[in-house]
Amino acid sequence: MTITKSELKKMQASAADACKLMKVLSNSDRMMLLCEIGQGEKCVSELEAALDLHQPTLSQQLTVLRKEKLVKTRREGKQIYYSLASEVAVAVMSLLYKHYCKK
């Protein structure tokens, strides 16, 4: 079976997208944030307390997750709430949980 140039370009684009996601997930703080947010919408103070991450690190990693569109935000008064925004990230996190957290 021969791959056409069009199919090859699509595969290359998909591979680049997958690598981009894996690069974001390769940071343990971001991984823990996604696990915690995956349990339900959380505000910054809840994430800080649950994961024992200090504000500068927490803000930096949440910015990466927002920029990569893995989380979305909702403002309520002074609080910003985070929830998962990527179905692909949810599926990958579910697989990782199954293989690494349920041992």
* pLDDT (tens digit per residue) in 8-62: 999 999 999 999 999 999 999 999 999 999 889 999 999 999 999 999 999 999 9
pLDDT (tens digit per residue) in 88-103: 988 998 898 888 887 6
State the Cα angle at 51 between 91 and 62, rounded to 5°.
60
CA proximity to 70, closest of 16, 28, 10, 20: 20
Largest CA distance in the chain: 58
Q: Which residues pair with 84 in a beta bridge?
A: 71
pTM of the model: 0.87
Task: Measure CA 75 to chain center.
Answer: 19
Do residues 85 and 69 make contact, with C-beta atoms less than 8 angstroms apart? yes
